[in-house]
């Protein structure tokens, strides 16, 4: 096994529990390591610090897996995946949908594992976990016993690691369409063609919290995808829910989910650009009692934060103006590079320009099955503010 000898900066990161070691934090690599191969990690004085996977092609050259002397094999992977599954015991159930392994948050950098009832969906996002694919699949089968494991290795980040984009069943085929339950609602998830792994599980707790603001209200759900917020609010007593998404497939899924829950009479979905839609509504006299903004990440890097903030401000400003007094704005950002303080500052600016006074009811984050590690800020990415217009 090769050894990556860290600089002092890399050693400090590792000792503080951060799993990412940058290329510039590594002094030298002794011996040869294929992209993604497991290496020993040593301090500048050559003392053993742990084991991780090494990929010289990635900015994050080293991902720490353990600070013990344990072997990185099928048994190790099974221990980690079983521990992650055990932490989510409360969420389990035959039709339950939740994230079983959330990459760094579960000490398995690069691995995303979601469960949609009887089907598992996995993403191997780094060269390191890709090399461990076979023992990882074995461990998943052993722990979850799914009807099939669908690989959504078509995420663009794989290219940064020098990995091909692909998708399909890992072993035996399972059903691509699965029906799941979230609170009192049911949703159809297409694990093969849906966005990401099929459903935005990170918003589960926020959707359930949003139900409290449904009864008797008129709702606009922008960026509605397959209607998860919309259907919850309709089921919880909203009089009318309108949903907007730019993707025709998402809108078709939202209509199907409304029917599945018997709320199609109170839901109207349309294919549109939410920016245009908000601008057009702003010119009418229409008002809403509850408005949801759950856009995709407007920036994936540090460079584009200013442009992203302009986009966030525009939609939030218009959304605030579209609310009746007492109306609720549920507004989200999943851009990691826009932190909570920056997000709240943007909302302040939007409210000021919209001449709206807003009260903060709650500032929430991602659901608990997407764990946040103290000191690993990258694991905290979702902001979800509940605001009331005065």
* Minimum CB distance to ligand SAH, residue 183 (Å): 13
Please, which residue, 169 or 275, has the CB nearer to ligand SAH? 275
Nearest 10 degrees: CA dihedral of 80, 169, 171, 256? 90
Q: How far, in Å, CA of 203 to CA of 205, rounded?
A: 6
Report the number of secondary-structure helices (H) and strands (E) in the chain.
11, 20
Please, which residue, 61 or 338, has the CB nearer to ligand SAH? 338
Three-class secondary structure of residue 150 per DSSP: strand
* Minimum CB distance to ligand SAH, residue 225 (Å): 3
Name every residue whose Cβ is closer than 8 Å to that of residue 376 and which is 6 or more positions away in sequence.
17, 18, 19, 104, 105
Nearest 10 degrees: CA dihedral of 162, 164, 170, 174? 140
* Minimum CB distance to ligand SAH, residue 254 (Å): 9
**99 within 8 A of 201, measured Cβ to Cβ:** yes
**323 within 8 A of 356, measured Cβ to Cβ:** yes
Please, which residue, 170 or 180, has the CB nearer to ligand SAH? 180
Task: Describe the strand order of the beta sheet including 26-30 as a list of residue ranges.
Answer: 20-21, 62-66, 48-54, 37-42, 3-6, 26-30
Q: How far, in Å, CA of 101 to CA of 109, rounded?
A: 10
* Minimum CB distance to ligand SAH, residue 297 (Å): 9
The question of whether 334 is a catalytic residue gets the answer yes
Please, which residue, 76 or 187, has the CB nearer to ligand SAH? 187
Name every residue whose Cβ is closer than 8 Å to that of residue 313 and which is 6 or more positions away in sequence.
346, 349, 350, 353
Query: What is the binding site for ligand SAH (CB under 6 A)?
Result: 195, 200, 203, 223-226, 228-229, 244-247, 250, 273-275, 294-296
* Minimum CB distance to ligand SAH, residue 113 (Å): 19
Please, which residue, 225 or 386, has the CB nearer to ligand SAH? 225
Catalytically annotated residue among 267, 334, 356, 384: 334
Please, which residue, 59 or 273, has the CB nearer to ligand SAH? 273
DSSP strand pairing (267-271 vs 288-293): unpaired
Token readout for 367 is: 């659901």
* Minimum CB distance to ligand SAH, residue 251 (Å): 9
Nearest to 195 by CA among 296, 276, 119: 296
Three-class secondary structure of residue 172 per DSSP: coil
Active site residues: 334
């Amino acid at each position: 096994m090769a050894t990556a000898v860290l600089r002092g900066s890399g050693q400090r990161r590792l000792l503080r529990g951060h799993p990412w070691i940058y290329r510039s934090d590594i002094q030298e690599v002794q011996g040869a390591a294929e992209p993604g191969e497991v290496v020993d990690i040593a301090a500048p004085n050559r003392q053993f610090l742990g084991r991780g996977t090494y990929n010289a092609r990635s900015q994050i050259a080293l991902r720490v897996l353990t600070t013990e002397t344990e072997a990185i094999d099928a048994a190790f992977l099974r221990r980690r995946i079983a521990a992650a599954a055990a932490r989510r015991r409360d969420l389990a159930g035959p039709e339950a949908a939740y994230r079983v392994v959330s990459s760094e948050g579960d000490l398995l950098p690069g691995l995303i594992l979601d469960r949609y009832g009887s089907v598992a969906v996995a993403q191997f996002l780094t060269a390191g976990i890709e090399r461990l694919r076979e023992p990882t699949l074995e461990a998943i089968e052993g722990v979850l016993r799914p009807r099939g494991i669908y690989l959504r290795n078509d995420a663009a980040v794989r290219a940064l690691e020098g990995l091909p984009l692909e998708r399909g069943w890992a072993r035996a085929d399972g059903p691509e369409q699965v029906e799941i339950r979230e609170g009192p609602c049911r949703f159809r998830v297409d694990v093969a063609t849906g966005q990401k792994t099929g459903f935005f599980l990170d918003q589960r707790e926020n959707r359930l919290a949003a139900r409290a603001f449904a009864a008797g209200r008129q709702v606009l759900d922008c960026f509605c995808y397959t209607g998860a917020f919309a259907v919850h609010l309709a089921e919880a007593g909203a009089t009318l829910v309108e949903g907007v998404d730019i993707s025709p497939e998402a809108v078709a899924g939202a209509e199907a989910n409304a029917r599945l829950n018997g709320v199609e009479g109170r839901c109207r979905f349309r294919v549109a650009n939410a920016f245009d839609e908000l601008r057009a509504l702003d010119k009418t006299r229409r008002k809403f009692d509850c408005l949801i903004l759950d856009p995709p990440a407007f920036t994936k890097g540090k460079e584009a934060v200013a442009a992203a903030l302009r986009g966030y401000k525009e939609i939030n400003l218009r959304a605030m103006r579209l609310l009746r007094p007492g109306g609720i704005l549920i507004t989200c950002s999943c851009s990691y590079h826009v932190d909570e303080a920056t997000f709240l500052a943007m909302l302040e600016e939007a409210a000021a320009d919209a001449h709206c006074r807003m009260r903060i009811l709650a500032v929430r984050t991602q659901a608990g099955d997407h764990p946040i590690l103290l000191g690993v800020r990258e694991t905290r990415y979702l902001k979800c503010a509940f605001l009331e217009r005065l």
